[in-house]
Amino acid sequence: MSSTLITPDNFNSIVPEGDDHERMVCSDCGFIAYENPKIIAGSVVTYGDQILLCKRAIDPQKGRWTIPAGFLEMGEAPHEGAVREAQEEACATIEIIDLLAVYSVRRISQVHMMYRAVLAEPVFEPGTESLEVALFSWDKIPWDDLAFPSVHWVLNHFKEAQGKTGFAPFSNPQGWEGV
């Protein structure tokens, strides 16, 4: 392979034989650069009746609040990714309860797998991607300063699921099915 030179010009969008979608294919070596949707793994983390939120230290939406969530990494199960993200963004050790919601954001080819989780002890601090981490009671959630529509969705679905177990995970709320 080291003798093969690849330039961006070598990659053309064609439908490989036996396929039915266009892929970026190298005209020199035939390498197919498959691109597929990515999974965002995250969790609504509670301590008592309070919810853990992180103020983003990075763009997009720097300075706005979100739940701990991020791209699933190779070799991880989604619930493991949610645990890692809580550790990375909030230095919080969480325990996953169940799968709360599966959202699709087709425009950016993301599938969000959102869990319910609990914090055993109120021990947390901002990770490198957070400016601030805090626990909020429901009526203190900074609704006008949430980072993404999906943070609204998952907090409302969390509220709707309170006291329930063994339910089908929520999906995109009404009006947002096609995004």
List of residues 6+ apart from 114 with CB closer than 8 A? 42, 43, 44, 67, 69, 82, 99, 100, 101, 102, 103, 150, 154, 157
* Residue 50 in contact with a copy of itself, rule: CB under 8 A: no
Instruction: Return the residue of 126, 149, 169, 173 that touches a copy of itself, per CB under 8 A.
Output: 169
* Residue 143 in contact with a copy of itself, rule: CB under 8 A: no
* Residue 37 in contact with a copy of itself, rule: CB under 8 A: yes
Measure the CA–CA gap between 112 and 104, rounded to whole angstroms. 6
Site for a copy of itself in 52-111 (CB under 8 A): 58, 71-78, 88, 98-99, 102, 104, 106-107, 109, 111
Q: Which helix (H) or strand (E) holds 8?
A: none
In the bound state with a copy of itself, the residue whose beta carbon lies nearer, of 50 and 169, is 169
Beta-carbon-side half-sphere exposure of residue 124 (alpha carbons within 13 Å): 29
* Three-class secondary structure of residue 89 per DSSP: helix
Which parts of this chain interact with a copy of itself (CB under 8 A)? 1-2, 4-9, 18, 20-21, 34-39, 58, 71-78, 88, 98-99, 102, 104, 106-107, 109, 111, 113, 128, 165-169
